Amino acid sequence: MIGERVREISEVCNGKVIDLIASGYNRTVLPHAWLALIAGLAGIKLQMEDPEPIPPQYRAALAFGETEKATEKVVEEVRNNLKDYWICLR
């Protein structure tokens, strides 16, 4: 989902992408996270199983769409921090 959103948002910047990953170093999850991100950036539809169960504290946020709001907040913060350097972000 994040890769797809970043690709969609990049349209306002002529396809330029800034991507930040804060995935940690869980060796079970990391390869799947990178694959999902790259597939989303490339516009490739990919069905993936979760490599391990989603912790309960995150399941509630997914159910109410809060992760989407958090993603939008991060994108806005990055945009605000980089707008002085990237004309397309102004």
pLDDT of residue 19: 67
| Eight-class DSSP state of 52 | S
- C-alpha distances (whole Å) from 82 to each of 21, 22, 72 are 17, 18, 15
Element (H, E) at 42: helix 30-42
- Residue range of the domain that includes 64: 2-89
What's the structural domain count of the chain? 1
For the stretch 45-80, pLDDT in tens is: 888 887 888 777 766 665 556 666 777 777 888 888
Task: Give the confidence band of 20 by pLDDT, cuts at 50, 70, 90.
Answer: low
Query: Coil, strand or helix: which one is 54?
Result: coil
Q: What is the pTM of this model?
A: 0.51
Radius of gyration of the chain, Cα coordinates, nearest whole angstrom: 14
pLDDT of residue 12: 82
Query: Coil, strand or helix: which one is 39?
Result: helix
For the stretch 31-41, pLDDT in tens is: 888 888 888 88
- Per the structure block, which two tokens stand in for 43? 């516009």
Give the Cα separation of 63 and 48 in Å (integer). Answer: 19
